[in-house]
Amino acid sequence: MALGEPYLLALIRHAPFWSVLLPLLIAPLILYQLLVHGKRKGKGKKETTIIRLPPSPQRLPIIGHLHLMLKEPQRTLQRLAHSLGPVIYLQLGGVPAVVVSSPEAAREVLKTLDVHCCNRPSSPGAKMLTYNYRDIAFSPYSERWRERRKLFISELVGSKRVQSLSHALEEQVDQLIQSLSDQPSMEPININEMIFALIDGFIGTVAFGRMSGAKLLKYNEFQQVFSETLAVLSAFSAQDFFPELLISRWVDKLVGLEARYRRIFGELDAFFETVISQHMSPGRVQPDNKDNLVDVLIGLWKGQGKQGLAVTKDDLKAMIMDAFIGGTSTSSVTLLWAISELIKNPRVMSKVQSEIRNSVNGKPRVQVSDTSQLKYLRMVIKETFRLHPPAPFLVPRETMEHVQLLGYDLPPKTRVFVNVWAIGRDPSCWENPEEFYPERFEDVDIDFHGLDFELLPFGAGRRGCPAIAMGTMNVEFTLASLLYSFDWKLPEGMTSEDVSLEGRGRQIVTRSTPLYLVPSLHK
Ligand code: HEM
């Protein structure tokens, strides 16, 4: 956005979606503002309730602060927190929201007030793609969510289960190392694609038993559906931000968003149907890990499960979707950021490779069990999570009742964003916060399991990631293996300054450009 450019103009220039939409929206929205907000204000006066909202930046008519969420909102809101403080109030269209940007405020939201703000806001896109919130990540806080989350942990991602699945990951990484070793030397490789295929293969094996999403559909088709799913889940929907406005449904229809939801839902559903029917086929060859998620869920669906857990076919599909969307993008994005930082920091690259090579010395490959010895590697991963948490705002929460946060009032149904990206770069917690310096973890006992509010890549509290053990294993083991077996260089003519660390994406932030590197087998 050019300096001094009026926000509304910048908005139109940067977002063609709005430029088409704005004229259509303006008239009814003004009416909306006048009628709905006018009514609310009137009501407030009669009830004479005085509430103390957190400080708020200047808002625009009608859209309020929506423009702040357009490009790298984590950065914009970090800057605002410097002047307004760690709790900021935003009006996102018709939706009240707060953004918290300090460890203390995050602790309040995710620990002290956790039980009062662990709902997820409703969203028509998420509703359709999760079979009416039958998944875990987007489901409202409820008894059914609790049951499903328990099942997900016990059957798919709990620590015991993860240990028993380590062979599946070792197998995937072995295949990758083999295929990289067979490549003609000095050929640059698209690291984004390589890592995505690897993690997809692993999550696919865990969930389906030796079938990856990419193998079930044609690889490109699967990647397409997958990235489109993430894209629509992060898209700006009028219904998300103007839920009380009847016309917002029509706006989403008009701009083609509803049709996109339906098309992607159709493709995902067809994919899940294929998976389920392959698992139920009488002539199917049993995979090694017979108790993969789909087999377990099919058992529960067919009534052979544990008492009290009624699972429908739609529950089953929604949970597979969580495993794919939640598991694949986060783990692969973290690996990609870690490799990008290491290529930019040759000192750290050489130190971490020496650690791995000295520790694993002599073995043809790293094994999952080796990673517990790799202290510096773990610091590298912590440092990657600090600077590049895959979900810079976690998954948005919603207050279920009136709460008080650090002396401010938050009405019910206020959307709560935790800017963990800003917390990871807060100079009051971290020295030289912009520097990639894993040694900072040598003397401080800070971890990412949701107890230290300075470092929250997996969130915390009731809605915290249930798959920390699996996510950590994916990242630690894959990174250790790639660094043990290969040396990595930039393509001819590129220097480390050319490696961009710019991110893109609203819910999951990945590199804005693909990373190409040349591997050479380490003898
Ligand atoms: C590096 C890896 C990963 C990272 C950084 C990560 C991060 C996150 C974050 C930030 C949240 C939201 C937490 C909150 O709102 O407080 C989350 C939730 C979730 N994650 Fe992960 N995740 C990872 C791996 C995985 C994997 C491998 C799976 C499944 C196979 C998974 C499944 C889920 C689910 C189901 C939720 C929703 C929890 C709920 O709402 O109750 N994640 N994750």
46 C-alpha vs ligand 1 centroid, how far in Å? 44
Atom of ligand 1 nearest to the CA of 207: 30
Cβ atoms of 194 and 219 closer than 8 Å: no
What are the tokens at 362? 């002599």
Nearest to 8 by CA among 88, 66, 55: 66
Percent of the chain at pLDDT > 70 equals: 84
Q: Is residue 394 within 6 Å of ligand 1 at its C-beta?
A: yes
Q: Considering the chain, what is the average pLDDT of its residues?
A: 84
CA–CA dist 49, 43 (Å, integer): 10
359 C-alpha vs ligand 1 centroid, how far in Å? 30
pLDDT per position as a tens digit, 363-383: 999 999 999 999 999 999 999
Annotated binding site: 465
| Residue 384 predicted with pLDDT over 60 | yes
300 C-alpha vs ligand 1 centroid, how far in Å? 23
Q: Is residue 136 within 6 Å of ligand 1 at its C-beta?
A: yes
Q: Is residue 149 within 6 Å of ligand 1 at its C-beta?
A: yes
465 C-alpha vs ligand 1 centroid, how far in Å? 4
Q: Show the CA angle centred on residue 433, arms to residues 430 and 435, nearest 5°.
A: 130
Find the radius of gyration of the CA atoms of the chain. 24
CA–CA dist 190, 244 (Å, integer): 45
The residue whose CA has the least distance to atom 9 of ligand 1 is: 458
pLDDT value of residue 490: 94
Atom of ligand 1 nearest to the CA of 152: 35
Atom of ligand 1 nearest to the CA of 456: 10
145 C-alpha vs ligand 1 centroid, how far in Å? 14
135 C-alpha vs ligand 1 centroid, how far in Å? 12
pTM: 0.88
Q: Is residue 329 within 6 Å of ligand 1 at its C-beta?
A: no
The residue whose CA has the least distance to atom 11 of ligand 1 is: 465
Atom of ligand 1 nearest to the CA of 389: 5
| Residue 393 predicted with pLDDT over 90 | yes
pLDDT value of residue 503: 87
pLDDT per position as a tens digit, 440-464: 999 888 999 999 999 999 999 999 9
Q: Is residue 476 within 6 Å of ligand 1 at its C-beta?
A: no
- Three-state secondary structure call for residue 274: helix
Cβ atoms of 461 and 428 closer than 8 Å: no
Angle between helices 468-485 and 166-181 (to 10 degrees): 30
pLDDT per position as a tens digit, 229-252: 877 887 788 898 998 888 888 888
* Amino acid at position 102, single letter: S
514 C-alpha vs ligand 1 centroid, how far in Å? 24
* Amino acid at position 62, single letter: I
Q: Is residue 331 within 6 Å of ligand 1 at its C-beta?
A: yes
| Residue 360 predicted with pLDDT over 70 | yes
Nearest to 98 by CA among 453, 413, 422, 391: 413
327 C-alpha vs ligand 1 centroid, how far in Å? 7
The residue whose CA has the least distance to atom 15 of ligand 1 is: 395
Atom of ligand 1 nearest to the CA of 110: 16
pLDDT value of residue 198: 81
pLDDT per position as a tens digit, 188-209: 999 988 888 787 777 777 666 6
| Residue 14 predicted with pLDDT over 80 | no
Q: Is residue 398 within 6 Å of ligand 1 at its C-beta?
A: no
Nearest to 74 by CA among 394, 309, 414: 394
Cβ atoms of 373 and 361 closer than 8 Å: no
| Residue 21 predicted with pLDDT over 80 | no
Neighbouring C-beta atoms of residue 153, cutoff 10 Å: 16
Contacts of residue 90, Cβ cutoff 8 Å, sequence gap at least 6: 56, 57, 64, 65, 68, 96, 97, 98, 99
15 C-alpha vs ligand 1 centroid, how far in Å? 29
Annotated binding site for heme: 465
Here the contacts of 186-189 (C-beta below 8 Å, separation 24 or greater) are 186/492, 186/518, 186/520, 187/518, 188/491, 188/516, 188/517, 188/518, 189/516, 189/517, 189/518, 189/519
Q: Average pLDDT, stretch 313-334?
A: 86
pLDDT value of residue 395: 94
Percent of the chain at pLDDT > 90 equals: 50
Atom of ligand 1 nearest to the CA of 395: 15
pLDDT value of residue 42: 47
Identify the band that residue 25 occupies on the pLDDT scale cut at 50, 70 and 90: low
Name the least confident of 88-92, 96-100, 327-331, 488-492: 327-331
The residue whose CA has the least distance to atom 26 of ligand 1 is: 327
- Three-state secondary structure call for residue 11: helix
Q: Is residue 199 within 6 Å of ligand 1 at its C-beta?
A: no
Q: Is residue 121 within 6 Å of ligand 1 at its C-beta?
A: no
Say yes or no: ipTM exceeds 0.90: yes
467 C-alpha vs ligand 1 centroid, how far in Å? 6
